[in-house]
Amino acid sequence: GMGICGGGVYYGAATTTATNIGLIYATSPVMIILLSRMLFAERFSLRQGLGTALALTGVLAIILRGDPATILHLTFTPGDLIILVAAASWALYSVLLKHWPSRLSVSARLATIAFAGVLVVLPVQALELAVVGPPSFDLRTIAAVVTLILVPGVGAYATFGYMTKHLGPNRTGLMLYLSPVYTAIMAWLLLGEVFAFYHWLGTALVLPGLYFATHKPDKP
Coil vs helix vs strand at 60: helix
- Judge if pTM exceeds 0.75: no
Per-residue pLDDT of the chain (220 residues; tens, 9 = 90+): 888 887 888 888 888 777 667 767 777 777 887 788 888 777 777 777 787 788 778 777 776 777 777 777 767 778 888 888 888 888 888 888 877 877 888 778 888 888 988 898 899 889 989 998 887 888 988 998 899 888 887 888 788 778 877 777 777 777 777 776 777 777 778 777 677 777 778 778 877 877 777 666 555 5
Q: Which sign does the torsion angle of CA 46, 52, 82, 99 carry?
A: negative
Distance from C-alpha of 42 to C-alpha of 96, rounded to nearest angstrom: 13
Q: Looking at residue 130, what is its pLDDT?
A: 92
Q: What are phi and psi of 104, to 5 degrees?
A: -75, 155
Q: Looking at residue 176, what is its pLDDT?
A: 72
Distance from C-alpha of 17 to C-alpha of 74, rounded to nearest angstrom: 9
Crossing angle between the packed helical segments 28-40 and 78-99, to the nearest 10 degrees: 50
Q: Looking at residue 216, what is its pLDDT?
A: 63
Closest among 50, 55, 10 to 28, alpha carbons compared: 55
Domain spans of the chain?
4-103+168-214
Cα dihedral value 147, 8, 54, 206, nearest 10 = 10
Distance from C-alpha of 146 to C-alpha of 153, rounded to nearest angstrom: 10
Closest among 63, 65, 83, 69 to 13, alpha carbons compared: 83
Distance from C-alpha of 54 to C-alpha of 206, rounded to nearest angstrom: 6
Coil vs helix vs strand at 40: helix
